[in-house]
Structure 1
């Protein structure tokens, strides 16, 4: 086995020159965890701590302790251990694996069925426009009665048929009374 020129394998120190205290190499957990962290990595970790503090996940003491530990951290593994129990960003709600059914209270009511237009109301309007005033008045009154009972549309047509029908009836009555026909 060959010896590395800079010392014992994996220590980073010359042979027999490992310090008694101070920094010790991180245990070989993974290659990523043993990599040295930079200032940007520490800044990102502090951002996660700030978010957790702002959300109420950390007390003032916990935040200060972890903030100091971030400044002293040398590897990704040490930084990861400081935020392992925190989400990496703000969360609105815990994630749910299975979709929950929506309570019936929050479901929209189905739309009401479309209302039909009264055929008698349309007939009243057509008869009044043609000039059959008396049948227009009769069908208009029947149509308005059915519209109220059955909750139908077309009241405007029945009313218009009635108005034109009454005007036509008044006109013909006046003509007969004056005898000009």
Structure 2
């Protein structure tokens, strides 16, 4: 029987003692492993098994050890000899982020649109006194919004609708009062 040039133990087996050896990487090997870290290691093991890099028995042992691992260093040992291991590398601090991943900047809301909506809402408690200002501010705001691209078109439209309803309601009341006054007397 010939002697193999390779040791009878694997690095992930902890030199036969059942204790994983510390990993000498730069990603804090003593840091406690999260569930996501364990799943990532198992995914690397699955890929290695699917590529034929290990036998089924070895794969099952490594998966069991991955789920039992307490630190990131233990997980790194399990996948260190596989192409996708040992752990994800940190993102460089000055990495450029493509513009598509930045949130879209919301346009500034037009102040006249806010004023139109407030005046429209105040039509009921002020008995229609703010109806005409709501209409005027709403038209001015919509014109500015189309020209400048600001936000607040819904607010301006709300002010317009409530202002016109209030103005029309009070005009109807005035016509009815006038008609009743002429009919009575």
Class of the TM-score when normalised by the shorter of the 2 chains? 0.3 to 0.5
Task: Choose between structure 1 and 2: higher helix proportion.
Answer: 2
Normalized against structure 1, the TM-score is what?
0.43
- The structure whose Rg is larger is 1
- Structure number with greater CO (CA < 8 Å, separation at least 6) is 2
Normalized against structure 2, the TM-score is what?
0.42
